[in-house]
Structure 1
Amino acid sequence: MKPLDNMKTNYSWVKLLTAISVATVLYSCSNTSATPGMPQQAMALPVVPVTTTTATTFREYPASLEGKVNVEIKPQVEGYLEKIFVDEGAWVKTGQPLFRIDARMYNEALNTANASLLAAKANVAKAKVDVDRLVPLVENKVISDVQLKSAQAVYDAAVAAEAQAKAAIANAQINIGYTLIRATANGYIGRIPFKAGALVTKSDALTVLSDIHEMYAYFSLSEPDFIAFKNQFAGNSIEEKVKQVPPVELALADNSIYPVKGKLSTIEGQFDKTTGAISFRATFSNPGGILRTGNTGKVRIPQQFNDALIVPMEATFDVQDKVFVFVVGDSNKVASRPITVTGKTTNYYFVKDGVKAGDKIVFSGVGNLQDGMAIVPQPMSADSLLKAKPL
């Protein structure tokens, strides 16, 4: 047989085998599909009733903490740091000495100002003598009043120079006082970046003084959260609503709850154009000094629900930012229904509308359901579910 005949024969076998394979696949598909008119077997799925409960949930917002007093200590005169009276982390009281700057050049400035004052006083006395000498001569018309006016001008200049010398003395005394830097409030000393002998200027921060007996927790609310906040609490103004907020909690960085509750105390006047958020402040007492400036955490604002409908999160699914459940109706057929969520816990949604108490919803397996499908309900009690998945 010629090679060309062999190629034609092989090609014919390939076509035949391909046709047989396609026919086999089509036959298998036709046999495995449901027979028209025959009902599909209903799935057995757990079903739980919608129930009500009373609970307190928390809205959490990231926060940064600062002491009630958080002051940078800066020198008001330049010079060499002569002595440091405190150590980093020390507790100090108002007026306690912290640093001393070498005051020698300021003492010399005071000596110079004192000498200038003595000279100015002498000039005043001399000018006064000249004026007193010329007054009777002018009155008796021995000389013209031009000389008296000139002498009076010299006297006035001498008086001004004396006042200027006194001001220089006062300024020198103030600068000498600035060389001893004292605590402006009670608090803890922060890091001290300079050591004795270093040259410091007015722009240098010698340390930070923090009073942490009370701590401020700053946090922000987005516009939707702010609207929800306004709707949650009673009052005709934001100030009145803030007063109605119950004590808030602080979750620390390790998710533990700070033992002392705080109070929402103030609110910023406008939204930040960059972030679209508005700032709040909560105040926490800090008797043990556990909290420090720079700590982070989460402010937890309580939200009370009385006889609220609850729906397990596991029973829900999301479609285009809306939350749905499958409600079991007549003939055990399911229908999807949107719900309005007003709050949530770890395992449950609090629902405003969309379902009512007593409605039976599919608890799990909702991803396999479509509207109108029939199921075989496997009833679950709300109490057993709450024991297995607490609020």
Structure 2
Amino acid sequence: MKIKWMAIPILAAAMQACTGGTAQKKDNEIAEVPVLKLARQDTSLSFDYVADIQAYKNVDIRSRIHGFIEKALVDEGEKVHKGQLLFQLNDREHVIALDKAKANLASALSAASIAQVELERITTLVDKKVISPSELSLGKARFSEAEAQIKTAKAMIDDANQKLSYSRIRSPFDGTIDRIPLKTGSLIDEGALLTTISDTKEMYAYFDISENEYLQFTRNGKGRFEQNKAVKLILSDGSAYPIKGKIQTHENA
């Protein structure tokens, strides 16, 4: 029992001596703390917006006459050039109308020639006082009517030619053909949608800003985004589109 009792104080003293030396050693050491030197520099802020991408030109190709689609000369997704023939509609009806208008013009020219000869004859007789001057007025009226018929016939020819040209539908500019919902043989009405053509050489990205951002711009004396300011497009997968754009226009709202 005495051995155990005497051993405990000796061990405690040894521990105290060891602890005191370690604490004194730590007090003599100087702690090293890393220091970062701050530098002033300009920082540019970027803002992200959800954009609606639209083609530079996007036009509906519609029929201007009633008829059947005789030929579809392009396919969906095909690239076309300005003036290229896209669709051929049945034009038999308009060819007949053109022939009829030409026949009416020929008849009007003949009637005008007869009216002119008659007017000359009446003029001679009036000068010789064979007939009354009222006959001359009647002859002039008939000749004027014949000339009016010529103008009407020519207008009918122009109208027939115009409608005949509508049977051949051409591309208004270089672009890419969209879907073609109506196929060859379909009966279409005036204004029917045949396809859509898009010019994607340039693209527009439309985006809206929040009301809070708009208020901040107006309070800072700006009120508008900086014109021609460079912007970049981030695609849906997070990658950046390689070509940068610029702020071009603002809506009046």
Whether TM exceeds 0.5 here: the answer is: yes
Q: 2:23 — aligned with what?
A: none
Normalised to the residue count of structure 2, the TM-score between the two structures is 0.79
Q: Does 1:56 align with 2:56?
A: no
Q: 2:123 — aligned with what?
A: 135
Q: Percentage identity across aligned positions?
A: 36
Q: 1:314 — aligned with what?
A: none
Q: Map residues 108-187 of structure 1 onto 2, 5 A cutoff.
A: 108-187=96-175
Letter in 2 for 1:207: T
Name stretches of at least 5 consecutive residues in structure 1 with no aligned partner. Answer: 1-49, 272-391
Q: 1:249 — aligned with what?
A: 232
Compare relative contact order (CA 8 Å, sep 6+) and give the higher one, 1 or 2.
2
Q: 1:218 — aligned with what?
A: 206
Q: 1:200 — aligned with what?
A: 188
Letter in 1 for 2:241: Y
Q: 1:100 — aligned with what?
A: 88
User: Over residues 262-321 of structure 1, what are the superposed CA-to-partner deviations in whole Å (9 max), with x where a residue is unaligned?
Assistant: 11100112x2xxxxxxxxxxxxxxxxxxxxxxxxxxxxxxxxxxxxxxxxxxxxxxxxxx
Q: Which one has a larger percent strand, Structure 1 or Structure 2?
A: 1
Q: Does the 8 Å CA contact 1:242/1:266 hold for their aligned counterparts?
A: no
Letter in 2 for 1:97: L
Q: Map residues 254-273 of structure 1 onto 2, 5 A cutoff.
A: 254-269=237-252, 271=253
Letter in 1 for 2:229: P
Q: Does the 8 Å CA contact 1:242/1:265 hold for their aligned counterparts?
A: no
Q: Does the 8 Å CA contact 2:181/2:195 hold for their aligned counterparts?
A: yes
Question: How far apart, in 2, do the equivalents of 1:227 and 1:267 lie?
Answer: 16
Cα distance change on mapping 1:259 and 1:232 into 2, 3 Å: farther
Q: Which one has a larger percent helix, Structure 1 or Structure 2?
A: 2
Letter in 2 for 1:222: S
For the aligned residue pairs, the C-alpha RMSD in angstroms reads 2.3
Question: How far apart, in 2, do the equivalents of 1:64 and 1:233 lie?
Answer: 28
What's the CA shift for 1:141? 2.4
Question: How far apart, in 2, do the equivalents of 1:226 and 1:187 lie?
Answer: 36
What's the CA shift for 1:139? 2.1
Q: Max radius of gyration: which structure? A: 2
User: Over residues 346-387 of structure 1, what are the superposed CA-to-partner deviations in whole Å (9 max), with x where a residue is unaligned?
Assistant: xxxxxxxxxxxxxxxxxxxxxxxxxxxxxxxxxxxxxxxxxx
Question: How far apart, in 1, do the equivalents of 2:136 and 2:234 lie?
Answer: 83
Normalised to the residue count of structure 1, the TM-score between the two structures is 0.52
Question: How far apart, in 1, do the equivalents of 2:70 and 2:146 lie?
Answer: 39
Q: 1:309 — aligned with what?
A: none
Q: Which moved more, 1:55-64 or 1:213-222?
A: 55-64
